Amino acid sequence: MEAIEIHFFLFVLFNIVCMDKTREDNLIDERLLKYRKLLEKDIDPFGHRFVSTMNTSEIYETFKHLKDGEKVHEKIAIAGRIRSIRKHGKIIFCHIEDMHGRIQVCLEQNTLGELFDLFELINVGDFLGVHGHITRTQRGELTVWVEKFDLLSKSIRPLPDEWFGLKDMEARYRQRYVDMIMNKDAMNVFISRSRIFSLLREFLNKRGFIEIETPMLQPIYGGALAEPFTTMHNELDRMMYLRISPELYLKRAIVGGFEKIYEIGKSFRNEGVDTKHNPEFTMMELYWAYADYTDNMKLTEELIAHIAQKLIGKTKIIYQGIDIDLTPPFARISMNDAIKKYLDIDVEGKSIEEMKEIAEEKGIKVPEYADKGIIIAELFDLVESKIVQPTFITDFPVEISPLAKSKRYQPLLTERFELIINGQEYANAYSEENNPILQKEKFESQTKFREEGDKEAHPMDTDYIKALEYGMPPTSGLGIGLDRLVMLLTNSPSIRDVIMFPMLKE
């Protein structure tokens, strides 16, 4: 495109935007005028309590038997947002919408008298409460024949055009309140999210797990390898951290005598923002005394299959065009074997020098402090995207698992797994390190990494060591990223689609 054509295109685009802005401003002015006229008539444009006797789905179910032209005299009341207005002389047809759907309402001058004229001051987008009876029109549409109505809320700003407005994804995320009005699929995702959380609680509660709460504001962060958000507590005059994980506090509860516990809540990590990551995210973490990571593998696959079956009626789903089978049992493969299978690299017996050469060949920048375990983890990052069907990756290096128990007879590996589905991590679990002496040594190793520049290394937590010194039974912990699970089960391509108000770049 020639430079002059580009300039002309930008000029036209600028004028379209300005025209749209001017048009919106004019519509707002018109609505503000109606607002003032309502006040002059001593009518509050922002009403009060309204009691609905039915919602839209209940109306459709209760009166589905009505024949064309038939009506009932039973009185009903329903409230919702006006989504359309069609005027035909002395009769007005509208559609009002509640959370359950839309229904037509009919306002007739002979029925409403002077109240009919008030409708001149009402717009699409306003909230209306109507009293009346149900009829089915000759065209077969169930309709509320209005005998009285109340204006419950005046919309000052007009809604986007139903067919052409708010299609831009960035605008939808920034104005989620409008997105949910205009795109019912968006609201349905959050209804499904709520259902997933309920099913999760139901599953765990039936198995004897107790839901507890732990602090989000912590004096020492821990439970994961991540960089935290910091804040200053003025009264205590000390730095505090938004939790990156509830793990260490949940395990303190195990020390205190709980045996099966879980928490669903927010965690915060000072990391990038993209389609898979949001700095504020929702996790479920559980801890199970006297169990190990193999028990949590079985629990995890049963849990995910249970939720899928209850939510969508099957365990074989399609996610973004890819067939995913959530039917247990899931595949299992060690991290080293996965690297060998997908990268054709055998890391067994390799020296640190050989590992650094392999990393360099693969374009991986290895920090000076990196040891063999860290390099293995970096190589596995190249494998993750190749794993499609649900797969437990096991036997993580001890260097990247400072809170996990070492594998029996293989001390350089840990009893840990991650669940990978379609190239993403969905769950992380391990047999917990409950030896306070070994845990302190692992924290000290992490401290060395931190001193050498690793911002995500785990800090020393002396109080947690003290808790372990009182004794913690053998325990396994599991964490599931619930935002990603909602993505999977609602076929949503981005984490921003399943977080109602996601973090966005300026």
The CATH number of the domain holding residue 206 is 3.30.930.10
Helix (H) or strand (E) holding 14: helix 3-40
Lowest mean pLDDT among 15-24, 134-143, 146-155, 458-467: 15-24
Question: Tens of pLDDT along 218-265?
Answer: 999 988 888 999 999 999 999 999 999 999 999 999 999 999 999 999
Strand partners, 308: none
The answer to whether residue 459 sits within a structural domain is: yes
Lowest mean pLDDT among 247-251, 279-283, 349-353: 349-353
**In the prediction, which pLDDT does 505 show?**
82
Residues 34 and 130 in one domain: yes
**In the prediction, which pLDDT does 4 show?**
54
Residues 209 and 283 in one domain: yes
Residues 189 and 103 in one domain: no
The answer to whether residue 503 sits within a structural domain is: no
Is 60 exceeded by the pLDDT of residue 294? yes
The answer to whether residue 365 sits within a structural domain is: no
Residue 243 main-chain phi, psi, to 5 deg: -65, 140
* 3-state SS class at 442: helix
Give the long-range contacts of residues 250-254, CB within 8 A, separation 24 or more: 250/212, 250/214, 250/285, 250/286, 250/287, 250/477, 251/287, 251/432, 251/464, 251/467, 251/472, 251/475, 251/477, 252/464, 252/467, 253/212, 253/214, 253/287, 254/287, 254/289, 254/472, 254/473, 254/475
The answer to whether residue 209 sits within a structural domain is: yes
248's tokens: 């260490």
**In the prediction, which pLDDT does 384 show?**
96
Residues 193 and 75 in one domain: no
Is 90 exceeded by the pLDDT of residue 33? yes
In this prediction, residue 370 has a pLDDT band, given cuts at 50, 70 and 90, of confident
Question: Tens of pLDDT along 55-99?
Answer: 999 999 999 999 999 999 899 999 999 999 999 999 999 999 999
The answer to whether residue 472 sits within a structural domain is: yes
Number of domains in the chain: 2
The answer to whether residue 482 sits within a structural domain is: yes
Residues 201 and 296 in one domain: yes
pTM for this entry:
0.91
**Residue whose C-alpha is closest to residue 134's, from 96, 159, 104, 95:** 104
Identify the burial level of 77 via C-beta atoms within 10 angstroms of its C-beta, where 0-12 means exposed, 13-18 middle and 19 or more buried.
Answer: middle
Is 60 exceeded by the pLDDT of residue 3? no
SS (H, E, C) 59-99: HHHHCCCCCCCCEEEEEEEEEEEEEEEEEECCEEEEEEEEC
Residues 240 and 273 in one domain: yes
The answer to whether residue 489 sits within a structural domain is: yes
Question: Tens of pLDDT along 296-315?
Answer: 999 999 999 999 999 999 99
Residues 264 and 412 in one domain: yes
Residues 153 and 219 in one domain: no
Whether the CB-CB separation of 425 and 393 falls below 8 Å is answered with no
Distance CA 221, CA 13 (A): 49
Residues 8 and 102 in one domain: yes
**In the prediction, which pLDDT does 8 show?**
47
First-last CA distance in the chain:
29
Residues 135 and 242 in one domain: no
The answer to whether residue 417 sits within a structural domain is: yes
In this prediction, residue 17 has a pLDDT band, given cuts at 50, 70 and 90, of very low
Is 60 exceeded by the pLDDT of residue 19? no
Residues 151 and 271 in one domain: no
Residues 399 and 307 in one domain: yes
Mean pLDDT, the chain, rounded, equals 92
**In the prediction, which pLDDT does 490 show?**
98
Domain around 84: 1-159
